[in-house]
Amino acid sequence: MEYDQKLRAFLSRAGRAPASPRATPGPTPSRGPGRDGADAWPPPEAPWPQGWVYGARARSPEDGAEVQRYRVPLDRVHGRATLGEAVEALRAAGSSLVAGRMLDSQWVERAVWLDTETTGLAGGTGTYVFLVGLGYLEDGHLMVEQHFLADLAAEAHFLRNILATLREFEVLITFNGRRFDWPLLTTRFSMHRLRAPWDDPLHLDLMHPAARLWRRPLGTYRLSALEANVLGVTREADVASYLIPSLYLHYLRSGERDALEPVFPHNRMDVISVVGLLGHLARCLADAGAPPAGPMDWAGLATLRDLRRDLPGAIRAYEVAIRDEGDQRMYRRLVRRLASLYRRSGRPGDAMALWERETARLEVWGPAAYVEVAKICEHLKGDLCAALEASRRALDVALAQKPAANHLARTAPASGSDVDALRHRVARLERRLTTSAG
């Protein structure tokens, strides 16, 4: 009931009333103008947002599949940065954006951004894709190409138009495209016996790194929230995403296009925001300098850098993360990861200093920090005396622990097997020292 009220309110603001489910279908929807741009929708004299260059809608050779193109200057400011700055950050980032894949500085020219609008979120063969936004670089501009399914009977031609553009590129960039947009599109391709443009595309889905970087500080990683809080973009008079399927169904029933028109700028802004968000991510992953201003989960940034084999950058992010981390479980995980990176980077002294500092936090570690010191002394430094001393301290802490005193520590409370393991370690080190002295 609340949903129907919101839909009626939106249609009322657009100057249309929702068609009754039993109403007789309205006139056939307009198919758009010819390639000369006559009767473009909206009319060419309609005001456009500052910075946009509008390309008139072109009617496809078959009715019902429309294409409209927008040329967006790269000096257009999108939030806190221009699109050109985002593109340059992507060129500089190269392979650091995609773990395990090599990219040269020109990979951006071979990339296409994709965003879809559909008749539902369930997926499957009953869900139609009726609007596809494609973004790519061309002649120093960002081109936003929108494919609209004006008539369900023209879906095959609508999909062929999309394929013709996608085949010109090699890298696919989406936001939640791995789970939703791309599987849904490939399903529609298969239903019409059309072959997808790539068997195994290099697909960069921003939702996964976005979840690592901003889920904890923002409490969400929805694109609209990232636009407002990370990019600094404010949408005015935007249509709510959950209303879009109903607006398209209303258009199919009634043939009235006015209420559907806000969906087109909504889709364009989604494409442009994913471009800006990817540029922001590239700046966050850069080695030199601090990440851009704004909310940031340093633990997530450290993980992303670590996955991309950027050990110096990951170490710097982990060092910042442990200073401000309030969750003790996460804190323990970060400290262990940082110590591991120190050792992998050939810095056992830093790992030793880290664990020695942690021995003062018995409420967090219990005997575990002393055990880590003992391991480094024995295996990396070869100092058996220091290893034995640290092991004895670990045993003392374990024996002195009370069951409720260290409930958050990884080894707490010390069980009989834990104490036995520590006693075994002490006895083994004593034997080694005795053998060495003999």
DSSP string, 12-71: HHTT-PPPPTTSPP-SPPP----TT-TT-SS-TTS---TT-EEEEEEE-SSTTEEEEEEE
Could you tell me which residues come within 8 angstroms of residue 335 by beta carbon, excluding any fewer than 6 positions away?
A: 322, 354, 358
Whose tokens are 């570690």? That residue is: 365
Do residues 84 and 221 share a domain? yes
* Within a domain: 303: no
Please state, in angstroms and rounded to a whole number, the distance separating the CA atoms of residues 72 and 54. 9
Do residues 168 and 233 share a domain? yes
Do residues 59 and 133 share a domain? yes
**Quick one: average pLDDT of 336-352?**
94
- Band of the pLDDT at 102, cuts 50, 70, 90? low
Between strands 141-149 and 129-138, the pairing is antiparallel
Residue 6 confidence (pLDDT): 55
Which two three-digit tokens encode residue 393?
């301290």
* Within a domain: 368: yes
Do residues 241 and 359 share a domain? no
Q: Which of 289, 279, 285 has its CA nearest to residue 302?
A: 285
Do residues 168 and 87 share a domain? yes
Q: Is the pLDDT of residue 42 over 50?
A: no
Do residues 229 and 369 share a domain? no
Residue 13 confidence (pLDDT): 55
* Within a domain: 227: yes
Do residues 271 and 400 share a domain? no
Average per-residue pLDDT in the chain?
Answer: 82
Do residues 335 and 393 share a domain? yes
Query: H helices within 261-347, ranges in order?
Result: 263-285, 298-307, 311-324, 328-344
Please state, in angstroms and rounded to a whole number, the distance separating the CA atoms of residues 375 and 310. 26
Do residues 181 and 68 share a domain? yes
Do residues 259 and 336 share a domain? no
* Within a domain: 210: yes
Do residues 86 and 211 share a domain? yes
> What pLDDT digit, counting tens, does each position of 345-369 carry?
999 999 999 999 999 998 899 999 9
CATH code, domain with 383: 1.25.40
Give the count of domains, the chain. Answer: 2
**Quick one: average pLDDT of 378-384?**
91
Q: From residue 21, give the alpha-carbon distance in Å to each of 18, 26, 252, 254.
A: 9, 12, 12, 10
CATH code, domain with 38: 3.30.420.10
* Within a domain: 204: yes
Could you tell me which residues come within 8 angstroms of residue 317 by beta carbon, excluding any fewer than 6 positions away?
A: 298, 299, 301, 302, 305
* Within a domain: 329: yes
* Within a domain: 307: no
Do residues 272 and 362 share a domain? no
* Within a domain: 397: yes
- Containing structural domain, residue 350: 315-437
> What pLDDT digit, counting tens, does each position of 405-418 carry?
444 444 445 566 78
Residue 413 confidence (pLDDT): 53
**Quick one: average pLDDT of 234-242?**
86
**Sheet containing 171-174, strands listed edge to edge, beginning at the edge strand earlier in sequence:** 53-59, 65-73, 141-149, 129-138, 111-118, 171-174, 202-205
> What pLDDT digit, counting tens, does each position of 155-170 carry?
999 999 999 999 999 9
